[in-house]
Amino acid sequence: MYTLCTFFVKRRNPPYHSARFRGGFADLTKRAAMARPKPKTPRGFGERLAELRRAAGYTQQELAAASGVSRRMIVYYEGQQHPPLAEVVVRLAPLLATNADELLGLVAPRKAPGVLDARVERRLRAIEHLAPGDRRQLLHLIDAFVEHGRRKRRS
């Protein structure tokens, strides 16, 4: 009894009808399962850029604004396997707390101890540049939120 699939395979692909492949589809799936896995392709520039951007706590829009490149270009670079212009790499590397070699994949990425979330750290650095009175008020507000959170967890 022919099913549509066996008819298609036997009619269109004569080598599958030979003695070597008499096991049919079951034999073919076994052979496919025994095939060697494909070697991992090296990560492209876009994957590294996206990973470093997330680790630094930037959105695509924030990174674009900080680097002077359009968001559309950041999206484009993250989808590419090839690096952008050298000028853009030089602008992006310090923002992502890395060097151009690491961003381009020429050296292995170093593991930095991530004590604080990068967004929190950036905001804390911005607070340091406020006027003393504004900084004091903001710290009181933060203390109030932290204390409220502690009370909430206790109850």
Domain ranges for the chain: 9-34, 45-104, 118-154
Full-model pTM? 0.49
Question: What would the DSSP string read from start to end of the chain?
Answer: ---HHHHHHHHH-GGGGSGGGTTHHHHHHHHHHHSPPPPPPPP-HHHHHHHHHHHHT--HHHHHHHHTS-HHHHHHHHT-SS---HHHHHHHHHHTTS-HHHHHTSSPPP-----S-HHHHHHHHHHHTS-HHHHHHHHHHHHHHHHHHHHHHH-
Q: Which residues of the chain have pLDDT under 50?
A: 7, 19, 21, 38-41
Q: What is the CATH number of domain 45-104?
A: 1.10.260.40
pLDDT at 105: 84
Which pLDDT value is given to residue 87? Answer: 92
pLDDT tens sequence across 126-147: 888 999 999 999 989 989 998 9
* Among 48, 151, 53, 140, residue whose Cα is nearest residue 95: 53
What is the model's pLDDT at position 106? 85
Structure confidence at residue 14 (pLDDT): 53
For helices 45-56 and 71-78, what crossing angle results, to 10°?
120
